[in-house]
Structure 1
Amino acid sequence: MGGFLEMASRNTNENVRQPDDLAEATEDPGSRTLRRGLQILDAVMARPEGLRVVDLCRATGLERAPVYRLLATLKEGGHVAQRGRFLYVPGPRWGALQPAARQPNMAVQLQPVLERVSRACGDAAFAIVREGAASHCIARQVGTHPVQVLVIQVGTRQPLGVGAAGLALLAALPDAQVDEVIAANAAQLPRYGGMTPERLRILVRATRERGWSVIGNHATRNVLAVGMAVRNARGEAVAGISVASTLERMPRQRQELIARNCRAALAAMPPGEL
């Protein structure tokens, strides 16, 4: 008798929906999809080193098929990125959060650097920070030369890497982040002077070998710019600076001079400023 009652009780419990199950059954499909997507995003953000699909299934209680579908949507929006074949990590869109909080102070701190560089070469100087897969111009200094090439203005956003400052910052990032940024921008790159992911990877390698970036005829025709990454006290790349001018005004020797000016201006910043 006791065994029968125990079995009956177990069967009854199995047939009774729990509160969470009832809530999911009554919500509309759009809300359910959103809730599940946010569950996956929360799990990925909590483990920035990366999660496998099987880990996400355990963390969310979802089956593999919906997890794969939701990951595809999150990847398309830049919220999640794939690292290697199996790991899912926070996507390039989330890189915008921390730099955005630093932008006002960063602009103030880098303005003297731009002034020093621009005064030394006579051309316009720019500072950018990373916002996910984009660069965001936060400061600009107009030079004294009669012809100023003002390729961007404060507030301009463009794919990270198509301008010299952005290229310098992109090249200073870890390989995995470089791949994520290039993949996120692949569809937009051709609009910038026919840039391609392959061409951008070549420019990243050249920048790393040289120690500073050079790029021309991509963001703006007949313009060449030199850029350098800005690092904080921990050695992390947090911004980029650049100088732009006409192609005729930028022979190799002058590119090297501008790079030295950029390096000297950054070295003159007070310790721990960034």
Structure 2
Amino acid sequence: MSSPASPEKLPNAPKSQRGVQSIHRAIGLLRTVVSNNERGISLAALARECGLHVATARRMLGALENEGLINYDSVTKLYHLGIELFYFGAAAYQFQMRDRYRHALERIALRTEDTAFLLVRSGNDALVIDRVEGAFPIRTLTHEVGQRSPLGMGAGSTALLASLPEKKIHSVIQANKRRYAQYKNSTPEDVWQLVEHFREHGYSLTGGVFIPEAVGLGRAVHDASGEVVAAVSVAAIKQRMDPERREMVAEIIKQEIEAIEKPNG
């Protein structure tokens, strides 16, 4: 018996069948993005792996992107998972993290009166999965929930990067080096300086990466085995982040994270 024809070869199929075929194609594209999310995947590679014409793949990927299911990086020309998939997977690991550390984020925002963020690593990016605003009148909203940035750009993002093994840090910085220029014309050398600061002080410190005159401070979050699973950062206007207050904010973040990690936390 002959094998079924591929969707590309059934232009005269009934309308209802074409609709089903389109769903199968879209799911196939989505699965391929999922399996290549760590590094990202190009349009040509997606079309090839899914057996689609490039124009068909581009059209369907555009629809998936419009729905937030995938994300296209215009600099690297690669596709990654979109934030909507994380919303759909509310029971997924990242969102267990969000639920677990929500109280810590609220406490940090309450005690510092500034905005607190929770980020996780997604390939060579940092992904913001939660944000709590503080009471200080001038809000420093450097990120939206669902926003991506290259690892090494931003306080939480730097904490995630600096906590990786040395070889992996080199790999990530190499992969992101062209993207860094979009952020204050940053270079790989600038990112290494941020990594060194984290290693020396135990927290990251960045300034003006997303908003001029804004300063961010971040710490890594570890699981029971000591592996880094997330980062918490606080953003404030520059005038509120003098050296003495930086140490205070870093200590507050540490205390609230550790309180959650206690067995009865």
- The answer to whether TM tops 0.5 is yes
**Pairing 1:259–2:213 present:** no
**Pairing 1:231–2:202 present:** no
| 2:253 match: secondary structure | helix
Which of 138, 143, 146 pairs up with 2:137? 146
| Larger of the two Rg values belongs to structure | 1
Aligned position for 1:25: none
Aligned position for 1:182: 173
Which of 178, 202, 208 pairs up with 2:199? 208
Displacement of 1:220 after TM fit? 2.2
| 2:137 match: secondary structure | coil
| Whole-angstrom distance in 2 between the partners of 1:104 and 1:182 | 27
Q: Is the 8 A contact 1:194 1:218 kept in 2?
A: no
TM-score if structure 1 supplies the norm length?
0.63
Question: Within 5 Å, which residues of 2 pair with 1:85-164?
Answer: 101-164=92-155
Work out the number of aligned pairs and report it: 188
| Whole-angstrom distance in 2 between the partners of 1:218 and 1:272 | 37
Identity, in percent, stands at: 34
Q: How large is the RMSD of aligned CA atoms in angstroms?
A: 2.9
| Whole-angstrom distance in 2 between the partners of 1:187 and 1:243 | 26
Aligned position for 1:240: 231
Closer/same/farther in 2, CA of residues 117 and 176 from structure 1, 3 Å limit: same
Which of 185, 194, 198 pairs up with 2:185? 194
| Whole-angstrom distance in 2 between the partners of 1:127 and 1:266 | 11
| Whole-angstrom distance in 2 between the partners of 1:265 and 1:204 | 23
| Whole-angstrom distance in 2 between the partners of 1:208 and 1:272 | 28
| Whole-angstrom distance in 1 between the partners of 2:264 and 2:210 | 30
| Whole-angstrom distance in 2 between the partners of 1:220 and 1:197 | 20
Runs of 5+ consecutive residues of structure 1 not aligned to the other structure = 1-37, 43-75, 79-92, 95-99
TM-score if structure 2 supplies the norm length?
0.65
Q: Is the 8 A contact 1:232 1:272 kept in 2?
A: no
The structure carrying a bigger helix percent of its residues is 1
Q: Is the 8 A contact 1:135 1:160 kept in 2?
A: yes
Q: Counterpart amino acid of 1:218?
A: V
| Whole-angstrom distance in 1 between the partners of 2:143 and 2:232 | 12
User: Where has structure 1 moved over 6 Å in runs of 4 or more?
Assistant: none
